[in-house]
């Protein structure tokens, strides 16, 4: 989608600090980190949120988790939190599926 921020980051139109890229997935550092390490992992194809994952597009969602597993190992992260916000009340501000990977500090539960 030409007017989607994360589509434009994934296709290189908007610069980002890349962590990982392959044919279907892109990972980059969050511009406003909420932990010493804060990465976003997204599909290159536009999917609005977890709520839009279907049997037809679920392969990329599964692949995102394989990428999270690899990238965190490559960065030496042993403990981290994976979060996806869905909808306004949960705090989603960018309507393109993304998983936050947060690491490097103590975290509380439940999240606020
Ligand atoms: P959400 O609020 O939708 O769960 O997460 C969106 C995330 O995208 C936020 O953590 C925000 O800091 C990050 N973000 C927003 N705009 C940009 C940008 O232009 N570049 C990068 N790297 N991150 C962004
Ligand atoms: Zn998009």
Q: What is the pLDDT of residue 46?
A: 98
- The terminus-to-terminus CA distance of the chain in angstroms comes to 31
From CA 72, how far away is CA 64, in angstroms rounded? 12
- Ion ligand 2 residues within 5 Å by Cβ: 1, 4, 6-7, 46, 96
Q: What is the pLDDT of residue 107?
A: 97
Q: What is the pLDDT of residue 2?
A: 85
What are phi and psi for residue 66, nearest 5 degrees?
-65, -40
Q: What is the pLDDT of residue 112?
A: 85
From CA 104, how far away is CA 106, in angstroms rounded? 7
Q: What is the pLDDT of residue 78?
A: 97
The mean pLDDT value of the chain amounts to 97
Q: Average pLDDT per run of 10 along the chain, which is 112 residues long?
A: 94 98 98 98 98 98 98 98 98 98 98 89
From CA 5, how far away is CA 96, in angstroms rounded? 8
Q: What is the pLDDT of residue 48?
A: 98
Known active-site residue 38: no
- For ligand 1, residues with CB inside 6 Å are 5, 16, 28-32, 40, 85, 91-94
From CA 43, how far away is CA 56, in angstroms rounded? 14
The minimum-distance atom of ligand 1 relative to the CA of 29 is 22
Q: What is the pLDDT of residue 80?
A: 98
Q: What does the buried/exposed string (b/e) look like for 64-79 if buried means 16 or more CB atoms within 10 Å of the residue's CB?
A: beebbeebbeebebee
């Amino acid at each position: 989608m030409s007017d989607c921020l994360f589509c434009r980051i994934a296709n290189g139109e908007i610069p980002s600090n890349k962590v990982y890229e392959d044919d279907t997935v892109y990972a980059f550092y969050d511009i406003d980190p909420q932990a010493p390490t804060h990465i976003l992992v997204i599909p290159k194809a536009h999917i609005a949120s977890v709520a839009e994952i279907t049997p037809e597009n679920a392969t990329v969602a599964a692949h995102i988790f394989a990428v999270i597993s690899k990238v965190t190992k490559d960065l030496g992260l042993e403990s981290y939190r994976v979060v996806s916000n869905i909808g306004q009340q949960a705090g989603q501000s960018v309507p393109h599926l993304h998983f936050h990977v947060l690491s490097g500090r103590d975290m509380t539960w439940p999240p606020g």
